[in-house]
Structure 1
Amino acid sequence: MKKAVVYTSTTGNTEAMAKAVAVGVQSSGAELVFGTPGTVSADEVLSCDVIILGSPAMGDEEVEEEMEGFYTSIEAGLSGKKVAVFGSYDWGDGQWLRSWTERIAAAGAAVVSKDGLAGHLEPDAECTAQCESLGKTA
């Protein structure tokens, strides 16, 4: 089993979540591909059995621009893949993750968590545990 964790982070909160997800992936025994859109390729990510994407909420609850571009580059290859999303926010109610999971489902992927995993600001112990669980079970 091979799992990718790809994220963008503007304040470090989503990065902390991504690192916790990676801990869960490693504890599951899966091979891990880990990085940001600038450090991993679309082909490398699409070769994975599970793809876990992270983005903070930006603007009017939207996926961060660099992650949006990366997601668009892999979207056509998601059919039949198992995909999960996560991210941090300061305001709003998680709409960016719900919208993102709808797009993922429309691309033919199996969405791991319908609403995604949202963490408010810096991940606390509960959020970190949820991130690790996501990496382990996705």
Structure 2
Amino acid sequence: MKTAVIYWSGTGNTEAMAKAAAEGANAELFSVSEFSGNVADYDAIAFGCPAMGAEVLEEDEFEPFFTAAEGSLSGKKVLLFGSYGWGDGEWMRNWEERVKAAGAELVNGEGIIVNEAPSDDDLAKIKEIAAKLA
């Protein structure tokens, strides 16, 4: 099974989560700017992006990438994760709905959100859940 973890991180919090997810899923790890492949070529994908602005995905790189990838998610296992510093997780709930509407199976039934920097326990949980992608 071919698995990728694709993320955007501004402060390093979501990057730490991405590294834990890649380890747990035994997946290829890419920042969104480094990913030059095709999402359709993967069986399972973990996407990571923090909440930005008024609880939205990062708008310059990640949102356009994810919008383009949505059409390739049907039938795939998907894990969503990200960090936030304010709000109540609305960006993740909206993102989960987009993934479900695209026909993907949301591993764990919901995304994983962490307030600010992930703790060692948070990273262990992400690793454990990401293993379900395999």
Residue 22 of structure 1 aligns to a residue in which SS?
helix
Higher alpha-carbon deviation: 109-118 or 98-107: 109-118
Distance, in Å, in 2 between the alignment partners of 1:42 and 1:69 is 15
Q: TM-score, normalised by structure 2?
A: 0.92
Q: Percent identity?
A: 47
Distance, in Å, in 1 between the alignment partners of 2:15 and 2:94 is 21
Structure 1 stretches lacking a partner, 5+ long: 27-31
From 39, 44, 67, give the equivalent of 1:72: 67
Find out whether 1:133 has 2:125 as its counterpart. no
RMSD, aligned α-carbons: 1.2
Equivalent residues, number: 132
For 1:117, the equivalent position in structure 2 comes to 112
| Structure 1 residue 42: Cα displacement | 4.7
2:110 partner letter? D
Moved over 6 A (4+): none
Matches within 5 A, 1:1-138: 1-26=1-26, 32-43=27-38, 45-65=39-59, 66-138=61-133
Maintained 8 Å contact 2:107/2:132: no
| Structure 1 residue 115: Cα displacement | 2.9
2:7 partner letter? Y
1:53 partner letter? F
Q: TM-score, normalised by structure 1?
A: 0.90
Query: Cα–Cα, structure 1 residues 16 and 9, in superposed 2: closer, same or farther, change >3 Å?
Result: same
| Structure 1 residue 68: Cα displacement | 0.8
2:11 partner letter? T
